[in-house]
C-alpha cells in the first residue's frame, strides 16, 4: 500500500512500547475503571514518529504501541477499543464479546493503514474476534497524537494528568469519566465517585 512506512529501528520501537506501557499503567492506576469497562485509544502512528497526522502511517509503530497497551488493558479486565481515523468516520474496532455485551451494532468495514489507521488495523488483526462499530462510550481513554477521542467517552470525561507526556514524538492526553453531578444547592455527593 502506498505511503505506509516501515520502521526498522528496534531501539525506537522498544522505546515506544515501554513509553506506552508506562502511560497505560499510570492511567489504569488513576482511572478507577472496573472490570468490563471500555478503554478507548486514538493513535496516530505518524505523530509518534514526529510527522503530521496521516502522513507516515506505520504498522510497525502501531504494533509497538499495541504491545504496550493490550496486555495491561486485558489483564485489568477491560475491553480495548481502537478509534479509526476520519476516513472511517472514527469508527471503533473492538472485540465482538464487548460489542455484544453492550448491545453495539456491528458494521461492516475492515480498517487499513491509510483508511482507518495503522493502530486500528493492528487491533483488527490481533483481537480474538474483532468487529467494527460506529461508536462506543468508554470510561477510560488515551489519545496518542491528539486524534480527538472525546466523542467516544461518556459525557463527563475528566483529564488525567500523567507523568509521561509523549509517546515517541506524539503528545498524549488521558481521560477517565465520572458520574454527572445532579441536584441543586442541597445535594450531597459520594466522594468515592469523583
The cell numbers describing 77, all together, are 479486565
Helix (H) or strand (E) holding 133: strand 130-133
CATH class of 10-180: alpha beta
Identify the pLDDT of residue 185: 83
The string of pLDDT tens digits covering residues 127-184 is 999 999 999 999 999 999 999 999 999 989 999 999 999 999 999 999 999 999 898 8
CA distances to 36, 66, 177 from 75, rounded to whole Å, are 11, 14, 20
Domain positions in the chain? 10-180
- Looking at residues 5-11, what average pLDDT do you find? 84
What mean pLDDT value characterizes the chain?
94
- Looking at residues 109-130, what average pLDDT do you find? 96
How many Cβ atoms are within 10 Å of 50's Cβ, its own excluded?
Answer: 11
Q: Where does the pLDDT of residue 3 fall: very low under 50, low under 70, confident under 90, or very high at 90 and above?
A: low
- Looking at residues 119-126, what average pLDDT do you find? 98
Identify the pLDDT of residue 132: 98
Helix runs in 5-156, H state only: 10-30, 45-48, 59-75, 96-102, 118-126
Identify the pLDDT of residue 27: 98
- Looking at residues 40-55, what average pLDDT do you find? 95
- Kindly tell me if the per-residue pLDDT of 186 is higher than 70: yes
Identify the pLDDT of residue 7: 81
- Looking at residues 63-72, what average pLDDT do you find? 98
Give 48 or 114, the one with higher predicted confidence: 48
Taking each helix axis from N to C terminus, what angle separates 10-30 and 59-75, rounded to the nearest 10 degrees?
30
Amino acid at each position: 500500500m502506498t505511503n505506509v512506512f516501515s520502521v526498522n529501528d528496534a531501539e525506537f520501537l522498544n522505546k515506544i512500547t515501554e513509553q506506552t506501557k508506562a502511560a497505560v499503567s499510570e492511567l489504569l492506576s488513576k482511572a478507577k475503571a472496573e472490570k468490563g469497562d471500555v478503554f478507548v485509544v486514538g493513535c496516530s502512528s505518524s505523530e509518534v514518529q514526529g510527522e503530521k497526522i496521516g502522513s507516515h502511517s506505520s504498522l510497525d509503530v502501531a504494533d509497538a504501541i499495541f504491545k504496550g497497551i493490550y496486555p495491561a488493558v486485558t489483564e485489568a479486565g477491560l475491553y480495548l477499543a481502537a478509534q479509526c481515523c476520519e476516513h472511517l468516520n472514527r469508527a471503533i474496532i473492538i472485540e465482538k464479546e464487548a460489542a455484544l455485551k453492550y448491545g453495539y451494532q456491528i458494521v461492516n468495514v475492515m480498517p487499513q493503514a491509510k483508511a482507518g489507521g495503522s493502530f486500528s488495523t493492528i487491533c483488527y488483526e490481533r483481537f480474538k474476534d474483532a468487529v467494527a462499530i460506529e461508536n462506543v462510550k468508554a470510561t477510560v481513554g488515551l489519545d496518542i497524537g491528539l486524534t480527538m477521542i472525546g466523542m467516544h467517552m461518556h459525557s463527563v470525561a475528566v483529564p488525567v494528568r500523567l507523568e509521561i507526556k509523549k509517546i515517541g514524538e506524539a503528545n498524549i492526553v488521558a481521560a477517565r469519566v465520572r458520574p454527572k453531578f445532579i441536584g441543586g444547592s442541597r445535594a450531597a455527593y459520594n466522594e468515592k465517585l469523583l
